Amino acid sequence: MTVLDDIIAGVREDLEERRRAVSLDELKDRVSSVSPARDAVSALRGPDRDTVEIIAEVKRASPSAGDLNGIPEPATLAHEYEAGGAAAISVLTESRRFKGSLEDLDAVRSEVSIPILRKDFTIDPYMIWEARAHGADLVLLIVAALSDQELHEYLELTHRLGMNAIVEAHTADEIERAVEAGANIVGVNVRNLKTLETDKTHFASLASHLPEGPVIIAESGVAEPSDVADYGRQGAEVVLVGEALVRHSDPRDAVGEFKNQGRKARAAYWEEKDARDGR
């Protein structure tokens, strides 16, 4: 059994417990009274083509790094992220490996005005309704964890509820599957979820497969601003940053520095691309 398989088995058990406590009909009633989802695609596009936006993560722990930070007040951390210029906030809600919760999502939603990603291993439509009921604007759909039919159905439901999905890929084939499913946002994760190994060069190796149109996100492997710059130079429009921000003594300042370095690299990316295209 891979790490991904093990995580999903736990997610499935926890899901059934929540489903017994709150029915799907109850969730749908809650959704009807929740404010409309925020436009995550526009937020992640940024004001111009040189921008590298940051999705800043509220993350208590991970299978690879263990406990990261007590985060006594998720809302306070999210406020600092927003003040630093984050385009969106990612909130881990998986409890067994990441020690997150829907309560963390609720706390962050009450504090910030930017889009929020409910970052969990979505394996059932119930979880999409659940995310919207708790005010999420984005969900995570991992191509490796879903069949093509599930991917299409989950993405269609996400869009029907006014939300967007980060459709996460790890290979060229998975990028193609994400695009065929109709993804508006494609995330390339350089962490192998079957082994938890991280290879930052993996994003560049997939650069030629990145599609035109969807927002492109680089995920994992960020330790310092130069990593954001590398991703921006390789074609990323957005970088998701977790551990480096959670552990930082000044997360507001760190978000600003990540964006600054990303902007410089993104400008160089377009200069080189325009030169190749003869513009």
Q: For 141-195, what is each residue's pLDDT tens digit?
A: 999 999 999 999 999 999 999 999 999 999 999 999 999 999 999 999 999 887 8
> Taking residues 39-62, what's their average pLDDT?
92
Q: Catalytic: 59?
A: yes
**HSE-up of 141 (CA within 13 Å, CB side)?**
35
**Catalytic status, residue 180:** no
Q: What is the CATH number of the domain that holds 243?
A: 3.20.20.70
Catalytic residue among 94, 130, 174, 219: 219
Q: Containing H/E element for 166?
A: strand 164-169
Residue 13: active-site member: no
The structural domain count of the chain equals: 1
Q: Is 57 a catalytic residue?
A: yes
Q: Has 95 been annotated as catalytic?
A: no
Is the alpha carbon torsion for 227, 198, 93, 129 positive or negative?
Answer: positive
In order of 1, 197, 219, the CA distances from 5 in angstroms are 6, 15, 20
Q: Which domain holds residue 56?
A: 3-276
Helices 148-160, 125-133: axis angle to 10 degrees equals 20
> Among 59, 90, 130, 174, which one carries the catalytic annotation?
59
| Active-site entry in 220, 237, 243, 259 | 220
196: left (phi over 0), alpha (psi -120 to 50) or beta: left
Give the model confidence (pLDDT) of 65-113 as tens digits: 777 667 779 999 999 999 999 999 999 999 888 899 999 999 999 999 9
